[in-house]
Structures are given as structure tokens and as C-alpha cells.
A and B are shown apart, each in its own frame.
Chain A
Amino acid sequence: MRKIWSIGLIRALIFQILGSAIGAGLLGLIRLAMGLSWKTEPALVVGGFIGAIFFMIGIGGFSGWWKMAMGEDVPEAHDVTEPEGIRRYFGFSLDHKVIGIQYGILSMVLLSVGGSLALIFRTELASSGLQILDFVQFNTLVGLHGMVLIASILMGVAAMGNYVVPLMIGAEDMAFPRLNAFSFWIAVPATVLLLSAMLFGGFETGWTAYPPLSVRGPMGIQLFFAGVYIVGWSSILGALNLIVTTLKMRVKGMKLFVMPIFAWAVLATSIISLTATQLIGLSFQLVMFERLLGMGFFTPSNGGNPILFQHLFWFYSHPAVYIFVLPGLGIISELLPVFVRKPLFGYKWVAMSSMGIALTGYLVWGHHMFTSGIEEYLRVPFMYSTLLVAVPTGVKFFSWVATLWQGKLRFPVPMLFILGAIIVFLIGGLTGPPSGTVSTDLHLHDTYYIVGHFHATMFGGFIFPIFAAIYYWYPKITGRKMNDTLGKIHFYLMTPAFLVTSFGQMQIGMLGMRRRIADYDPTLGFDTSHLIITIAGYLIGVSVLIFFINLIISAKRGEVATGNVWQSRSPEWSILPSPSPVHNYKGMPFEVVGEPYDYGLEGSNYVLPVNQTGQAD
């Protein structure tokens, strides 16, 4: 018992359950005192939020700050002794590497949950008619699939940022270790809330939760809102930490324009998360209030305007797309030179294109609303700004191609995923402009074409790159390599399967298949296409399962790899041993003496241990 209690996660979950009950009970009592009867919906909301706070108390998220407030001595993060072994991954660790892995595990868990939800409704869609689901179940699954995977992506991005960035820039840890741990752990009760929407009636609105639909109907939507709201905190705080870390904690000699390109990508992403996430939180909060307190923000019969919600929602949710893909594109730019054995072409342009995408990303949200009935004069300017995104994105593609040109390409598993990422992201990118010009979007909006298009951007911009990143940095984490054969099976199964789903979706979408319908008209002749898409979807599932098996068995049985496995110039490979030691570069001071990607430049180094500076080795 004692032993179980000492596992932070379990303690915290028990706290969360207790807290939820206390919150709900308290609200019931207050209502009773006011002469009102029991109502489940407000109790769920209040219980949900109190439960999340209790979770944080249970995990110990407040104890450091509490002690500081009480004037007690609190040790610096690097002086805190943490439990050894597997157990530290289940508690409130302050080490950025542990937190990075925690984020990674949460991301992979959510990836499998979100993916499985998709397989359930893909099974329903395999043929026309309603077979295994009813409308509410179908809509709940579709909405949760979307949001659970968004959470998974946010966690995955944070995982890469947390684990890799401090190592790359030679920092001892993140700028604010306690805040960092807090950002991770707050996401756990948030995902619990999000998933529990299924238990309380589900919701019918899809992940976009447009009112007035979200103002009516099952109350599961409240838990969905609460979950997203809290994941938003995690995202904002995590971003703040990454920005300060990259700007302030780089090792001696590492000017902004010689830091690894991935750090640029994470910086650009974090700027968006820090400043845009509030808007989705706000829009969901307003609907929450509208449901609970009858405030008519978005319902016309109460004086509200449903389009206002869409503006607020997309002001985050479009830039969010770049939060998801910029780190992935950063991974592509980071890993390509290593496997091409040649410099990254146009480093500065690639770095600036990330910033350019982040900036233009703020100006294009209206393209989700071309058919929604926004003011006529808004549509054309939003079309111009939307197509503008193609310019910095183009710079990236051209630079990657120029990097490949006349290299000496090696094809270990991470490189396969990088090449897959470029191809899939290319398809995602090229299918964007038809939905960016207004007249063609009048046809495409809310069809499977859009579904195919954004799944290609998400796979190319996140899923492929994060798999590449995991295969690539796995030895850094464990001191062992992942199995090559299984990795190749994963790649050669997932890539064609994905292309089939994506092309299939786009094609039936153009022909008239609407989004988010549980059943479709058999006379449209989409049955075969849907069956093929479903089968391909299952194959993606199988390939990811193979990946998970590989991930787990290689930790014990993988080939030992402690040195600079990929012959990279980056400090986390060329200076640090694998698995990376607890205090990073402590006892191994180094400084930056050259450029990061000068592969093939005679006698050049990117980083050198301090005592040898100046001498080429």
C-alpha cells in the first residue's frame, strides 16, 4: 500500500477522483442552501476543475512553490535528489530529460487512444448504412479522435522540445524546472477530463464545437471544454519555458544564427503557443458559460452571434496547425544534413521561413470561414494571406531538395521517415491552395477533401517526423538502438497505407462525400473507396503497433550504441555520451567554434570541449 501510494501518478489520480467528488458535492450543497435542486452539468464542470487542482496537489506540483511562499528553504532544481530507476518517470521530476520522456509517453498513449477511436468509426464507415454505432456515438468518436490527437501532437512537440533543445544548446536544464514539471503534469488530469466526456453522454459537435449546436445536446461537451482548457494551460506555460530557455541559456559562443535549426523551429512554435492558445480557451469558456449561466454570447435568439465564435476559435486553431508542423519541419531540416553528409542548404533562410510561417499563420484564419457567412469583403483578403503561406513553405522544400542534391545519402530508419515526411507533407501542402482560393473552396469546404488534405499535413508535418525523431534520439535516451528490421517494416507498411487513405479521402471528397457523416448514400458509389480507406487505416494501426513493440523490446535488447551513432556534429552526439547523464554537460564544458552543419568542410568543428578550443582534432 505504502509502495503504491509513493507512486506519484497513482496518488494524484486518487486525489483527482476525491477532488472531483468534493467539488461536485460542494456545489450541490451550495445550490441546496440556495433552495435549488441537484443538477449534474454544473457539478461536472466544478468537479472537473477542482479535481484537476487536487491532482496537482497530489502529484506535489504545488509543494515547492508553497514552501517558497511560506519562506522555507527550497533547493535549486539541480540539487533535488530524485528517486532512481523507472519510478521517477511516474512522479514530479524536475529533470528536463525525464519530463521530455514523460511528455513522449503521454503523447504515444494519446496517439494510440486517438488512433483506436478512428479505427472504430472507420469500421462503421467501411460500408454504407449504420452498423455498429448510433449518431451520438459516432459524433463523439469523431470529435474526440480530433481533440485527443491534437493533445497527442502538443505533447509530442513538447516532448521533443523538452528533451532535445536543452541538450542541443548546451543548457543544464530548462529555465524554470518547476514550471516545466507543472506544465507536463497539468496535462494529465486534462486528458482524463477530455476522455471522460465519453462517459457523460458524449458530444455531437466534432472537435470544432460550433455553437449553437454545442450549446444544446449532451453535457459531455463540458468535459471536452474543460479538458481542452487545461491542456491549453500546459501548452502556454511549456511554451514560455522553451522561449526563455532558447533565448537565455545557450552555451558560450552559440549565437542565434548558429544554433541548431530545430531550436529555431521550437522557438517559432512556442511563440505561437504562447500567444494564440488563449483564444481557443476563451471561445470554449464562453460556450461553457452560455450553457451553465444562460449568457447569450453565440445564440442569435438571445442576442448572440454564432460567427463570433468561429473567429475566436480559428484565430487559435489555424496557427495551431503550425504549432503542430513547425517542429516536425525542424526535425526534417535538422536530420537531413546528418544523413546526406552535406550542409543544410540556406540555413538562415530556413530559420527565417519558420518565423515567416509563424507570422503569416496569424493572418489566415478566415479561410476556414469562406462559406460560413462572414462579411463578403473579408473573403478576398483572407485568400491573399492564405496563399502567401506557400512562399515560406516553398523555401523549406527548395532548401531540402538543394540539401539532398549531390550528397552521399544514407538510409537508416530515421532517414526513411524524413524522406517519407517530405513526400507526405508535399502532398498536404500542394492540396492546400485549392481550398485556399474562395471559389474552389465553396465546393471543397466540409468535405473529405479537407479531411484528406489536413491528414496529409499532420502526417507529413508531425507523425513521420516524430517517428524519425524517436528512432534518431532513442540511443541518446536508452544507450541502445531500435531494431532496424522492425523499423523498416513500420515504414514500408505505414507509408503506402497512409497515401492510400489520403488520396482516397480527397477523391471521394471532391466527388461529394461530406465530412462527419455516420452514413452515406450508397447511390453515390463510395462504398468501395471507403472499404479501402478503412483497410488502409487498419494497416497504419498495425504498423504503429509494430513500432510500439520495437520501442519496448529495444530498451532491453537493442544493439548497444553509446557513442556518436549517426556521426552528427551536434553537441548532444559529439560531446555527450549515451544514455545522457543526469546533469547533462556537467564536467564536460564546451563552446561553439563553428557552424552547425558544415559537413565535409575540412578541419571544421561545430563544438569543442573548452580546454581544447582552437585546436582542430
Chain B
Amino acid sequence: MKHIVIVVILVILLTFGTYALLQGIGLLPAQASAQAVTIDRMFNLHIMMISFLFSLIIVFMGYSIIVFRQKKGDEGFGKFFKANNKLEIIWTILPLGTVIFFSYLGAISLAETRNVEPQALNVDVTAGQWYWSFDYPDYGITSDKLYLPVDRQVKLSMTSVDVIHSFWVPEFRVKQDVLPGENLVKELRFTPTEKGEYTVRCAELCGGAHAYMNSPVIVVDDAEFTDWIDSELGNLPQDPVSKGKRLVENNGCLGCHSVDGSPSVGPTWAGLFGSENVMLDGSIKEVNEDYLHTAIVDPNFDVPEGFPAGVMPSNYADLFSEEEIQNMISFIQSLK
């Protein structure tokens, strides 16, 4: 009996200690969405449970190790008892009740995070190797940054053009895989509650530059959001170079090509135009408009040395109009 009393006291002490420690070291990133509040509440319950069960087992073990260790020269046996069905039933039924209760709380928590608001802002998200692109169908805007008004629910309708990706902003907590296929468009809703700059990070291994598949997420207040919409709609310069710039930004080219000379999956465009390019087969070609045109619509026709063939998508001829391709070429030309 004396043993049990000591152990119970120790379990209580260690439970509080562990809980305080886990809360103290800061386990979660900033809380920036309504969903994060709900989910963190669930985390808190888990941490309490973990602290208790951890202490329960560890104290019993530690106590046994210290107090019930074999004394020198004592070759005898421990106390003989080998079963107690009442105890077994208790420690089956109690946990059973607990897990059912936890599942119930989990279901409520899930329902709360999926709460639907009719006023939600619609954004269509397209993911591809290795970029994100955001369409605002209500405004006719396409952007490579996700601008969101604070305190208003957003409904993302997400699809992928190639493999599976996953949309995750740690500060918002929620995560949803993005699948290819027209009938597999997935929805994700959340309500940002803190203004600031965040990053969406692809959470599903998607090959190659998966690590770098990040895009800015900017949460602003209503007025700033309207300003942003206006500037996107109104002040867009219409010269070919700027149009080309927007095209390459919104279609994932920059996931593989840099514009400042830094290395990437594909050749950099800085100083590309007008240079002499060494091909895989050793020949040397001058980079002019024709060369770039072929390089975009038929990427495997000329493969420059040091880069893999078959990586750059080969369906751009179908995706872009001739004018759009010319605009992108003008943009690349402007980087010489």
C-alpha cells in the first residue's frame, strides 16, 4: 500500500510537470486561422492525455526499477501473482471509453474546421511541378501569390496538372492534397485571422524540386485587398514584355527556370538570348527568336548540354496561343 501511495503522488506530479514542459517549449507555429484555434484546442487535449499516460507508465517503471531491483546475493523470486481479471477488465473498459470519447471530440473538431460560410471568397488553385497558380474567378485575375482578405473565409478549389501535390500553410494548420484529374477537384476552406505574410508549402512528395514548391500567401485587410484587385485589373501594363512576364510567372516556367542566372532544373534565362548554346550532341546554336520558339513548343528538339530531356512539359503549343508564345519570347529576350 505504501508503494501505491508514493507512486500515485509521483504520477500526479510528473503529469503536471510534463504538461508544463510540453506547453512551455512551444510546439506549434503561430495561430493564424479560425481553424487553427479549433485544431489547437484538440492538440491541447492530446497533450494532456499524453502527459498523464506517459507519467503513469514511466513512474511505475522507474519506481520498480529502483525499489524492486534484486538485492546483492538474493537469488530468490519476486512476489507471486499472475493475473487479476478485474484489473484487466478495468484497463480494457476505461481506455475503450476514453478512445470513444476522444473520437467523438475529434469528429466535432473536424466538423468545426469544415464549417461552410456562404460568403466565402472563391479561389481556383492549380498546382504543377513545381509551382502554384491562383485564379480569382470572380475578378478574372490570375496570380502566383495568394492574396487573401483577413477574417473572410476562402474556398480553394484545387487541381493539379501532373502529379499529387498538397496545399499546406502551417500557420493555418489545415492541409489538403491536390490531385490531377478533372473529376478530382478538391476543396479546402479556411478563414485567415491574422494579417501577415505566410508561405504555402507543398506537403506531398512530387519529385525534383518538391522542396522548393513554395509560394507567398499574403493576408491583408479588406481595403488593401480591394486595392490589390484594382491594381491587378487596372494598371496592368500591356506591352509584350510585361505580358510575357505575367505568362511565365503564372504558368510555372519559373519553377524550372531562373531569371537571375541562379541554377535550377532548366537553363537560366538570364543572358540566354543572343548567346551561343552548346547542345547535347555537341553542336553549337545561336539563341534567337526561332530557337526559343522551337525550345518552347518542342522542348526535346534541341536539348542543351547539361540538362535532362523529357522534363520540360511538351504540350505548350496546345496551351498557349501564338501571340502568348511571342510575348514570352519577348520577355526572355528582355533578359539578355
Contacts and interface: CB of A to CB of B under 8 A. Distances in A.
A136 B175 CA distance: 26
B77 A408 contact: yes
Contact of A519 (B82, B162, B186, B211): B211
Given A340-B78, A390-B99, A373 B179 contact: yes
B42 A511 contact: no
A212 B165 CA distance: 11
Contacts, number: 276
A90 interface: no
Given A408-B70, A426-B58, A442-B39, A390 B211 contact: no
Nearest to B109: A439
A609 interface: no
Max chain B CB contacts within 10 Å: which of A387, A430, A514? A514
A447 interface: yes
Interface in A345-387: 345-349, 371-373, 379-380, 383-384, 387
A431 to B, nearest CB: 7
A514 B201 contact: yes
B305 interface: no
Contacts of B207: 135, 139, 204-205, 213, 216-217
A347 B240 CA distance: 79
Contact of A387 (B102, B113, B163): B102
Interface stretch (A92-100, A152-160, A597-605): A597-605
Nearest to B108: A439
The size bracket of the interface on B is: 35 or more
Interface in A526-580: none
B271 interface: no
Contacts of B92: 349, 391, 394-395
B68 A408 contact: yes
Contacts of A348: 83
B82 A439 contact: no
B203 A212 contact: no
B204 A600 contact: no
B206 A213 contact: yes
Interface of A: 135-136, 139, 204-206, 210, 212-213, 216-217, 299-301, 305-307, 340-349, 371-373, 379-380, 383-384, 387-388, 390-391, 394-395, 397-399, 401-402, 404-411, 419, 422-423, 426-427, 430-431, 433-434, 436-440, 442-443, 445-447, 507, 510-512, 514-521, 597-601
Contact of A406 (B57, B78, B214): B78
Contacts of B88: 346, 349, 395, 398-399
Contacts of A379: 110
A401 B205 CA distance: 41
B61 A437 contact: no
With most chain A CB atoms within 10 A of its CB, the pick from B25, B29, B46, B214 is: B46
Contacts of B110: 379-380, 383, 437-439
A311 B69 CA distance: 48
A366 B77 CA distance: 46
Contacts of A213: 163-164, 205-207
Interface in B162-221: 162-164, 166, 168, 170, 173-177, 179-184, 186, 199, 201-212, 214
Given A410-B70, A443-B174, A341 B77 contact: yes
A388 B64 contact: no
A405 B60 contact: yes
Given A433-B46, A438-B110, A439-B39, A390 B95 contact: yes
Interface stretch (B48-56, B222-230, B295-303): B48-56
A410 B175 CA distance: 49
Contacts of A445: 175, 203
B137 interface: no
Given A217-B207, A373-B186, A408-B70, A383 B107 contact: yes
A397 to B, nearest CB: 6
A520 B212 CA distance: 8
Contacts of A440: 39, 42-43, 46, 106, 109
11 contacts: A300-B179, A343-B81, A383-B103, A399-B88, A401-B60, A402-B84, A406-B81, A410-B69, A419-B61, A510-B28, A521-B199
B315 to A, nearest CB: 11
Given A440-B39, A519-B211, A447 B173 contact: no
A204 B208 contact: yes
A426 B65 CA distance: 17
A533 B11 CA distance: 30
Nearest to A518: B211
B210 A517 contact: yes
Given A404-B68, A600-B80, A512 B214 contact: no
A345 B83 contact: yes
A343 B214 CA distance: 57
B60 A446 contact: no
Contacts of A410: 69-70
B26 to A, nearest CB: 8
Contacts of B95: 390-391, 394
A404 B162 CA distance: 55
A427 to B, nearest CB: 8
Given A135-B209, A405-B64, A406-B68, A307 B43 contact: no
B101 to A, nearest CB: 10
Contacts of A384: 100, 103
Interface in B273-294: none
A82 B186 CA distance: 62
Nearest to A392: B92
B217 to A, nearest CB: 13
Interface string B12-35: 000000000000011111000000
Contacts of B2: none
Contact of A443 (B39, B68, B71): B39
A306 B106 contact: no
B96 interface: yes
Given A405-B60, A520-B211, 18 more contacts: A136-B208, A204-B208, A217-B207, A300-B179, A341-B70, A343-B80, A345-B82, A349-B92, A383-B107, A383-B110, A394-B91, A404-B65, A406-B3, A406-B79, A439-B38, A442-B113, A511-B29, A516-B205
A599 B78 contact: yes
B205 A430 contact: no
B89 to A, nearest CB: 9
B323 interface: no
A13 B321 CA distance: 57
Nearest to B89: A349
A597 B27 contact: no
A342 B49 contact: no
